[in-house]
């Protein structure tokens, strides 16, 4: 399959616990190339925009509060079959269901504080990448 891109974000629980480097190492070892990367802080309003698709879900307010509670590390990644392979690497949303060796199995604390985000489609990967990075920041 042709090289394509996905978007990820190391979440506040994982950056606070000092797991940023370990997570990036696992991502690179799995064959993903870093296209763009930074450390930043979401306001609650920006978190709400990013997760607007979940606006009607009961956990939406908690999710926006959590995602703005500390720094995050948004990253654009490139690899063949990037979206599906990355979802496999991070594991299930609920770490209790995540497979051994996945990033969430290793680092997630709960269903909400689950260490990392991964785009669920090529289309959303592009939208989410452009939410954080200008084209001139993507190499």
Q: How far apart are CA 73 and CA 11, in angstroms?
A: 7
Which CB, 4 or 137, lies closer to Mg ion? Answer: 4
User: What six digits make up the tokens of 138?
Assistant: 């993507």
Which CB, 78 or 120, lies closer to ligand GTP? Answer: 120
Among 86, 114, 129, 133, contact with ligand GTP (rule: CB under 6 A):
114
Instruction: Please say if 117 is a catalytic residue.
Output: yes
Closest contact distance (angstroms) between CB of 90 and Mg ion is: 10
The residues with which 117 forms a beta bridge, in sequence order, are 9
User: What six digits make up the tokens of 125?
Assistant: 């990967």
The residue annotated as part of the active site, out of 117, 119, 125, 132, is 117
Q: Which residue has the tokens 């990075």?
A: 133
Which of the residues 61 through 80 are near ligand GTP (CB under 6 A)?
62-63
Q: How far apart are CA 49 and CA 17, in angstroms?
A: 26
Q: How far apart are CA 79 and CA 74, in angstroms?
A: 17
Q: Which residues bind Mg ion (CB under 5 A)?
A: 120
Q: Which residues bind ligand GTP (CB under 6 A)?
A: 59, 62-63, 93, 111-112, 114, 117-118, 120
Q: Which residues are catalytic?
A: 117
């Amino acid at each position: 399959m042709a090289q394509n891109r996905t978007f990820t974000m190391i979440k506040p629980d994982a950056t606070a616990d000092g797991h940023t480097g370990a997570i990036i190492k696992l991502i690179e070892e799995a064959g993903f190339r870093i296209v763009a990367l930074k450390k930043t802080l979401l306001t609650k309003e920006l978190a709400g925009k990013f997760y607007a698709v979940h606006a009607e879900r009961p956990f939406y307010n908690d999710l926006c509060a959590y995602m703005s509670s500390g720094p995050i590390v948004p990253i654009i990644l490139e690899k063949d079959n990037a979206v599906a392979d990355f979802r496999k690497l991070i594991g299930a949303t609920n770490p209790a269901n995540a497979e051994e060796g996945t990033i969430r199995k290793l680092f997630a604390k709960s269903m909400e504080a689950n260490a990392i985000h991964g785009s669920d489609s090529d289309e959303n990967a592009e939208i989410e990448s452009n939410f954080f990075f200008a084209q001139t920041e993507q190499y």
